[in-house]
Structure 1
Amino acid sequence: MQSLNLLISTSCLFLLLFSMHLFFSKKGNKLLNIFLSVIFFARFGQILTSLFFKSGQPNTLAFCHQIFTPFYYAAPACFYLYITGFLQDRKNLQKIEWLHFLPALLAIIHVIPWHFSTSLNWDLIGSQLAENGYFSLKERSGLFPPYFHYLFRPVLVMAYLCTTWMVVLRLKNKPIQLLEAESRTWIIFFLRIATFFQLFTLAPIILRNLHIPYVNASFVVVNCLVLFVILLYALHRPYIFYGYLLVAVDWTKKPTVLKTETDAILIPLIAEDPKPNRTAVKKINLIDAQLSDYALAMKEIMEEEQLYLLHDFQIIDLSAKLNIPIHHCSFVINKHIGKNFRDWINSYRVNHFLKQYPLKSDKITIEAIASEAGFKSVATFYNAFKKETGLMPTAYFAQELSH
């Protein structure tokens, strides 16, 4: 029994630390950090409350149960909003999306000790929770009838789980949803783990309906053990542990000193001082064969992986993918290809737009197609389009129709 309590207590500690750190973290996406914090905090509350099921302390059980119940009902919505917000790199909620938290609001109303509500038998509630878990609570635990727990909450969990998977599968093949390798690994990892825990939490309902005997404490133990396995896995994946769980490092941004989008910024700075310029020329000592190989490698990876569809793709990302020094990338693009990085990547985006427009113009707007092509803003798209074609989009397609 002491080993079980130690295991549960340790799990609670880790979950609470992650939750608090994410909530107060100043790095990363604040909105997504809060969603993930609520998910961890709800799991922390669920495991902590299980400690008091058979403790014989109804007042402590009542306090924990009433405090954490609203978080249980907010967690499924936070799971859905975290995944969709991560895929779309969103930093704010739309007004209508606040409706996702109506179940949590109902849960708050449910647990408030209204003066007109009947008194609650926490000894009986504790024994039912200890025997069959949350989803079998047949005793009233607040304002609403018992099915608010044993029916509404499982339906809520499954509805959000299915909806989230549908969204992910629907967006899977859309270019605008391309993610960096680390981000893609994290979101798939998180989605699968969250799905496991959601389904695992519903397992007692299935076993009970099939009249299969089980021990509720065993589910708590497995829950905690899986959490430790996940933690060990994350520790061996630094970009997951530090980039998303602790948010100690912002893996989506590169160091400021290296964040360079085009060599057009670097060349004027070098040209102002002839001494650095001579040094730079000596460093970039590439023969014609190397220039051709580098240019070919850049062209192939850009066309095969369609990296230009990523809104925030920078020259440093290209350098990392090809394992070529960043100043060599700049030199090849400027001198061999004949464009700066910004114009070069935008030319791919314009060509992609020209291929997609005839297929999608009757379904979505020009701006939406431009966004799918990798343009981060409408102004950038129009400027790049005119630079590539000499015309604005409307005039260009009008001219095409006239031929």
Structure 2
Amino acid sequence: MGFLNFLTSIICFFLLLFSFNLFFAKRGNPVLNYLLGVIFFSRFGQMLVLLLVNSKQQTYFPFFHQLFTPLYFAAPACFYLYVSHFINPDKKLPYKEWLHFIPAALAIIHVIPWPFAPVINWHDILKQITDNKQLFINERSGILPAYLYSVGRPALVLGYLAATWYRVLNSEVLKAKPKADTGKKWILLFVKAATFFQLVSFLPLLSTSQDRTYANSIFVIISCLVLIVIVVFILHQPDIFYRYLITPIDGIKVADKGQERVEDTTLNTGSTKKIILLPEQSAAYAAEMEALMAAKKLYLISDFQIVDLAAEMNISVHHCSFVINNVIDKNFRDWINGYRISYFSTQYPLHAHKMTIEAIAHESGFKSLATFYNAFKKETGLMPKAYFSQKKVS
């Protein structure tokens, strides 16, 4: 039991670290940061409650169980919404998607200690968690009927899990991305890992009452070990670790007039860092960038950012941005989208009879159809169908 508590404590630490980092991150997509933060914090709550149960800390157990219950009902929706918004990024959650959190709102009402609330038998709840883990509590734990928890929560887990996999398998974005794309590696790792842990929570149902305590301990140990392996794997994948967990990246902020501003992150002065590059060096970097795009077609990676380009060339982001802005005379986003539009223009006539515009746009590196249309109009002055119709006439 001591070893099990030690493993659980390690997992709690990492989950709390990642969740708080995401909640307070000032970079990246805030919707993705908050959704993933809620998922990690909910998982932290589960592990903390499990630690309290195994440590026989009955004094604190009721408080933390009630505190995290609404998050347990929010986490499945956050899982689905995170994957959906990762595939089609959005800076805020549409109003209709807040309906996904109705079960969490009901759970908040459920756990509030109302004066008329029935007496809760915490001893039986603790015993059920020990025997069946946290997903299958048949004892009443608030003002709403017991089946809200025992039936509602497993139904939410399975329903959103199925919806998420449906979203992933039918996503043109994931189908079109190159295998080396960091975004594709991360989202597939995330979905597979989450699926494993959600399905493992149902395994206690397969064991008999006689060997359930032993089986539950094995399940918990396996879950902890797998989670540690995943954390170690991510720690050895800097592109995933820094991009999505520690320092979420959502592109370079664009200043006025569409030009990218390079901030000096080493000083707290708020001033723009002065870039000093000889004209010959700037021209050489520009030529290297063009050659890199032609050879590796990095623009087909939808998550490709200026930091990735700088890493490919082994130069600083400041120098990279300076060359694009002042030598190539474009901002990074327009420059990359120019390559994508050029690629789309060569692929569309070849595949229009069997692929939609959206599919070819995704294959060309665009994350969303709206971004593609804006970039195409900016690059050519026309919308795609008008552009290709005019080209046929000429």
CA deviation after TM superposition for structure 1 residue 238, in Å: 1.4
Match of 1:32 in 2: 32
- CA distance, structure 2, for counterparts of residue 394 and residue 379 of structure 1: 14
**Identity percentage over the alignment?**
42
Match of 1:98 in 2: 98
Match of 2:345 in 1: 350
2:202 partner SS:
helix
Match of 2:377 in 1: 382
Q: Deviation string for 1:77-110 (max 9, x for gaps)?
A: 1111111111112221111111111111111111
Q: Map residues 189-268 of structure 1 onto 2, 5 A cutoff.
A: 189-208=189-208, 213-215=212-214, 216-247=216-247, 250=249
Q: Deviation string for 1:115-170 (max 9, x for gaps)?
A: 22211111222122222222332211112222222222111101111111111010
CA deviation after TM superposition for structure 1 residue 67, in Å: 0.4
- CA distance, structure 2, for counterparts of residue 197 and residue 85 of structure 1: 21
- CA distance, structure 2, for counterparts of residue 71 and residue 235 of structure 1: 27
Q: Which has the higher helix share?
A: 1
CA deviation after TM superposition for structure 1 residue 37, in Å: 1.3
Match of 1:41 in 2: 41
Q: Map residues 34-183 of structure 1 onto 2, 5 A cutoff.
A: 34-53=34-53, 57-172=57-172, 181-183=181-183
CA deviation after TM superposition for structure 1 residue 212, in Å: 6.3
Unaligned runs of 5+ in 2: 254-259, 264-276, 329-334
- CA distance, structure 2, for counterparts of residue 108 and residue 181 of structure 1: 40
- CA distance, structure 2, for counterparts of residue 78 and residue 312 of structure 1: 21
* Counterpart AA for 2:48: L
Q: Deviation string for 1:46-104 (max 9, x for gaps)?
A: 11112333655544221111001011111111111111111112221111111111111
Contact 1:62 1:122 in 2 (8 A): yes
Q: Deviation string for 1:268-310 (max 9, x for gaps)?
A: xxxxxxx955x459x759xxxxx9xx999865754xxxx6555
TM-score normalised over the length of structure 1: 0.72
CA deviation after TM superposition for structure 1 residue 185, in Å: 1.2
1:52 partner SS:
helix
Q: Structure 1 5/314 Cα, relative in aligned 2: closer, same or farther at 3 Å? A: closer
Contact 1:134 1:149 in 2 (8 A): no
* Counterpart AA for 2:5: N
CA deviation after TM superposition for structure 1 residue 374, in Å: 5.5
Q: Structure 1 204/296 Cα, relative in aligned 2: closer, same or farther at 3 Å? A: same
Q: Structure 1 212/309 Cα, relative in aligned 2: closer, same or farther at 3 Å? A: same
* Counterpart AA for 1:20: F
Q: Structure 1 103/385 Cα, relative in aligned 2: closer, same or farther at 3 Å? A: same
Q: Structure 1 276/57 Cα, relative in aligned 2: closer, same or farther at 3 Å? A: closer
2:135 partner SS:
helix
Match of 2:266 in 1: none
Contact 1:54 1:126 in 2 (8 A): no
Higher-RCO chain (CA-CA 8 Å, sequence separation at least 6): 2
Contact 2:12 2:44 in 1 (8 A): yes
CA deviation after TM superposition for structure 1 residue 218, in Å: 3.2
Q: Map residues 1-12 of structure 1 onto 2, 5 A cutoff.
A: 1-12=1-12
Contact 2:27 2:250 in 1 (8 A): no
Bigger radius of gyration among the two = 1
* Counterpart AA for 1:384: E
Between the two proteins, the alignment pairs up a number of residues equal to 357
Contact 1:18 1:40 in 2 (8 A): yes
- CA distance, structure 1, for counterparts of residue 295 and residue 281 of structure 2: 27
Contact 1:308 1:349 in 2 (8 A): no
- CA distance, structure 1, for counterparts of residue 62 and residue 303 of structure 2: 49
2:114 partner SS:
coil
Contact 1:19 1:41 in 2 (8 A): yes
1:62 partner SS:
helix
Q: Deviation string for 1:7-51 (max 9, x for gaps)?
A: 322322222122112111112222211111111111111111123
- CA distance, structure 1, for counterparts of residue 160 and residue 383 of structure 2: 43
- CA distance, structure 2, for counterparts of residue 55 and residue 284 of structure 1: 63
Select between 38-47 and 223-232 the one with higher mean Cα deviation: 223-232
* Counterpart AA for 2:226: V
